[in-house]
A and B are shown apart, each in its own frame.
Chain A
Amino acid sequence: AQSVTQLGSHVSVSEGALVLLRCNYSSSVPPYLFWYVQYPNQGLQLLLKYTSAATLVKGINGFEAEFKKSETSFHLTKPSAHMSDAAEYFCAVSDRGSSNTGKLIFGQGTTLQVKP
């Protein structure tokens, strides 16, 4: 069965520092992988997605993620944090089974705090 693990429910960085949010997945077949961001009292916004093209995926707001099959990871990074990046981030996975279930499997989320 698919699963997603986000390491660290809370991550705190200083403004201008590197952001690294970790995501590991388990899937028996090559997956599609997603990062979503949720600002307070809002819905989820797609940051980026991996759908078996380039392993380094660039998204919106300066974020990028690298798919590493050998490590079953899809970590999200941003070179320099901005105060506006403070939000909750969700990693999600789908595979061929999702075409039958409609489900994306979400991690539990990581809250990013950015300190001035």
Chain B
Amino acid sequence: EAGVTQSPTHLIKTRGQQATLRCSPISGHTSVYWYQQALGLGLQFLLWYDEGEERNRGNFPPRFSGRQFPNYSSELNVNALELEDSALYLCASSVGRPGYGYTFGSGTRLTVV
């Protein structure tokens, strides 16, 4: 069984640009979650998508947005990039209730210069 796949692995952008990160969940998983792991800040919940709908978002500005496609894959878009957006962005997926835990992907390392 293929795991959660994220692309690209690394992404370098200039301040003010837009970044698009992609995630494919495990087959059969309908929920996708996005977390930001910035140096020294731990894991911060960004977004939860389920069945194509945004179910919840964390305490991030609106320039962080995303969507979930009919095949349950997901995109995270970050507009007007700032230096502090540099982080590892982790995608996870689950089947059923999110409380039973997730399976994470390997992440996308976003560097803003």
Known: A101-B48, A106-B42, A106-B43. A51 touches B106 (CB 8 A): no
A-B interface pairs (CB < 8 A), number: 65
Number of B interface residues in the complex (CB < 8 A): 26
Minimum distance in angstroms from A99 CB to a CB of chain B? 5
B99 touches A32 (CB 8 A): yes
Cα of A53 to Cα of B32 in the assembled complex, Å = 26
Cα of A43 to Cα of B104 in the assembled complex, Å = 6
* Chain A residues touching B, majority SS: mixed
B72 at the interface (CB under 8 A from A): no
B101 touches A109 (CB 8 A): no
* Range, interface on chain A: 20 to 34
Q: A34-54 CB contact bits vs B (8 Å, 1 = yes)?
A: 101000011111100101000
Known A32-B101, A103-B98; further 19 A-B contacts with Cβ < 8 A? A41-B109, A42-B106, A43-B90, A44-B92, A49-B100, A90-B43, A92-B101, A94-B98, A94-B99, A94-B101, A95-B99, A98-B98, A99-B98, A101-B56, A102-B48, A103-B56, A103-B58, A104-B45, A108-B42
